[in-house]
Amino acid sequence: MPATAEAPTVDHRITRVGVLGCGLMGSGIAEVCARSGHEVVVVEADPGAAERGQARVEGSLAGALRRGKLAEADHDAARQRLDFTHEWDQLAGCELVVEAIAEDPALKVAAFQRLDATLTSPTAILASNTSSIPIMKLATATTRPEQVIGIHFFNPVPVLPLVELVPSLMTSKDTVARAQAFTSDDLSKNVIHSQDRAGFVVNALLIPYLLSAIRMVESGFATSADIDAGMVHGCAHPLGPLALTDLIGLDTTMAVAESMYTEFKEPLYAPPPLLSRMVEAGLLGRKTGRGFYDYRS
């Protein structure tokens, strides 16, 4: 059984957080950490990507200010706590780094190897926002597997309250407790715990549902609009499965499905051919302007 949360054996308060990657998930993670009072260093691949990530976070903060969800003083304070860079050594003094790069096992393993060499604190936590990749695979790429844990946020991070904590067999109880305190107390998230199995709790239930909807479209059973309308109006879901797949990203959905199929070899996790073809065509959903629906107008 994985470690369970209990009081940390040593008080290692997390004040400085690193976020590796500033796409949709990384930018949301950086925002909620800054809004909760933490100093945040955001690292991207190059200066251009860092600038785009900064614009994404600042745009979200400005939107929260306009909607009255964030006071002006809190908005300004959060902006001041954020530092965007492409230089990995800026992460050195962080007590926690959350990796939020592409859902590619090779890229993530390489990132954890580099983080392990970069972080100077002997108690620093190395966390991954992976949706499906086994935490043990990432932990064994480091010299400190007991300090590696999955902290899986949900998109949009500033809005959705859930976080999955996923320790590996090597994660220490102290790391679990510190991650629990950070996510539940500091970030005010609702935290659930999962064993280190591909997909964790939510995606193990969600991905087969999304793939089933894609198979219905593929077979001509029903249109995307009718499938989504059925689940929205018949089951009170806020989004239908095809619209949700567009929001998640078809490439991310396929990567999670492939990871789960690799681990379990269950047909329900196998990506349908239609999903594979759409990813090959670059029809990835909202982020590219077209997926099961067209967002370009």
What is the domain-level CATH number for residue 217?
1.10.1040.10
Residues 173 and 254 in one domain: no
Preceding peptide of 156 cis, ω within 30°:
yes
- What's the pLDDT score for residue 11? 53
Q: What is the pLDDT of residue 13?
A: 82
Q: Which of 27, 60, 128, 131 is catalytic?
A: 131
Give every CB contact of residue 10 below 8 A, 6+ residues apart in sequence: 123, 174
- Whether 186 is covered by a domain: the verdict is yes
Is 129 designated active site?
no
pLDDT of residue 155: 87
Please give the structure tokens belonging to residue 44: 């991207």
Same domain (yes/no): 53, 166: yes
Please report whether residue 4 resides in a domain. no
Catalytic: which of 27, 203, 224, 259? 203
251 by Cβ neighbours in 10 Å (0-12 / 13-18 / 19+) ranks as buried
How many CB atoms lie under 10 A from the CB of residue 230? Answer: 16
57, 27 Cβ separation under 8 angstroms? yes
With beta carbons less than 8 A apart as the criterion, state whether 78 and 100 touch: no
Residue from 132, 152, 194, 259 carrying the catalytic annotation: 152
- The count of domains in the chain is 2
Q: Indicate whether 113 belongs to any domain.
A: yes
Given CA atoms 128, 198, 204, 184 in this order, what sign does their dihedral have?
Answer: negative
On whether residue 112 sits in a domain, the answer given is yes
Query: Is the domain of 154 the same as that of 257?
Result: no
The candidate with the shortest Cα–Cα distance to 203, out of 252, 167, 135, is 252
Domain boundary among 173, 193, 213: 193
Instruction: Please indicate, yes or no, whether residues 107 and 173 belong to a single structural domain of this protein.
Output: yes
Burial (0-12, 13-18, 19+ Cβ within 10 Å), 137: middle
Question: Quick check: 95 and 123 in contact, CB under 8 A?
Answer: yes
68 and 178 both lie in a single domain: yes
In a domain, 3, yes or no: no
> Residue 96's pLDDT is what?
98
Same domain flag for 213 and 145? no
- Cα separation, 48 vs 250, whole angstroms: 25
Maximum alpha-carbon separation in the chain: 58
Q: What is the rounded (10 degree) CA torsion for 238, 242, 244, 248? A: 180
139 and 41 assigned to the same domain: yes
Q: Determine the pLDDT at residue 3.
A: 47
Q: Is residue 95 part of a domain?
A: yes
Q: Give the CATH number for residue 114.
A: 3.40.50.720
- Give yes or no: residues 56 and 179 share one domain: yes
Shared domain for 123 and 237, answered yes or no, is: no
Closest CA to 210 of 199, 172, 144: 199
Residues paired with residue 192 on neighbouring β-strands, in sequence order: 164
122 and 212, same domain (yes or no) = no
Among 165, 193, 221, the domain-final residue is 193
190 is catalytic: no
Residue at token pair 């659930």: 192
Where does a domain end: 193, 213, 244?
Answer: 193
3-state secondary structure at position 82: strand
Q: Choosing from 128, 164, 168, 258, which is the catalytic residue?
A: 164
pLDDT for residue 61: 95
Whether 243 maps to a domain, the answer reads yes
In a domain, 8, yes or no: no
Domain that includes residue 229, residue range: 203-287
Q: Is residue 87 annotated as a catalytic residue, yes or no?
A: no
Question: Which residues of the chain, if any, have pLDDT below 50?
Answer: 1-10
Say how far apart CA 221 and CA 242 lie, in whole Å: 14
Q: Same structural domain for residues 88 and 139?
A: yes
152 counts as catalytic = yes
Q: Are residues 28 and 100 in the same domain?
A: yes
Q: How far apart are CA 5 and CA 172, in angstroms?
A: 10
> How many helices and strands in the chain, by DSSP H and E?
11, 8
CA distance 184 to 234: 33
